[in-house]
Amino acid sequence: MKAAVIVFPGSNCDRDVRVALRQATGDEPLMVWHKDADFDAVDLIVLPGGFSYGDYLRCGAMAAHSPVMRELVNRAGRGVPLLGICNGFQMLTETGLLPGALLRNATLKFVCRDVLLRVETSQTLFTSRYEAGQVIRIPVAHGDGNYFADGDTLARLYDRDQIAFRYCDEFAEPSRAANPNGALHNIAGVYNESKTILGLMPHPERLADPALGGCDGALMFQGLVEALS
């Protein structure tokens, strides 16, 4: 599997994703600068976390207009899988590749800690190494992770099984106490209709090695390698 990581001014997790992908694939991913819209064909594209353009205007709003994003929209239309993590998730909603929006955290404070997530489905490229209903531990680090969508959009997400992860407690029950940002319905990540695009606020690359304190995030990258190789 050949992967690419898109790098923006202000990205701060691009190297973390690079390491996670290298460990999973055995190969170095392409590191693509946001102005370089012409890059080699790859099997997976990752939009990493960080603070692209300093999070001016809205998080991800300026990055959504970078030259490389037009190419990502084209490739997504041809079925190339995209993974957007944290700021990358925000970019995917800003471009319309994923439904909904990420608002300010309900507390209006930046949150940085491990959270528990319930895997909603294992029938995707991204979650094939998990079990539906499994509880995993993944870190978050954001100030604008409060997922919102209108009623019709939420109904479609439910009908088409597009909710990827929910914040939950140790018993796999979504709860207000387990929700770090006030996200509607405890939603931590969503798919597009074909489930070739995933956006999530938690950072799987930050818990993808025993040296980091756990490997729950590594299973996502390992599953992608199995599915796309």
pLDDT of residue 57: 83
Stretches where the chain sits below pLDDT 50 are none
Is 203 among the residues known to form the active site? yes
CATH code for the domain in which residue 186 is found: 3.40.50.880
* Structural domains counted in the chain: 1
Distances (CA, A) of 182 to 110, 111, 151: 12, 11, 16
Q: Which of 103, 105, 100, 120 is nearest to 180 (CA)?
A: 105
Catalytic residue, chosen from 71, 94, 120, 205, is 205
pLDDT of residue 199: 98
Q: Is residue 79 part of a domain?
A: yes
Residue 199 forms part of a structural domain:
yes
Residue 202 resides in a domain: yes
Rounded distance between C-alpha atoms, residue 125 and residue 43, angstroms = 12
User: Is residue 225 situated within a structural domain?
Assistant: no
Catalytic residue among 13, 59, 86, 168: 86
205 flagged as catalytic: yes
| Domain of residue 139, residue span | 3-219
Distance CA 29, CA 26 (A): 9
pLDDT at 56: 84
Given 71, 94, 168, 203, the catalytic residue: 203
Pick from 30, 44, 127: nearest CA to 80: 44
What's the pLDDT tens digit per position in 6-31?
A: 999 999 999 999 999 999 999 999 99
Give the per-residue pLDDT at 166: 98
- At residue 94, the pLDDT reads 96
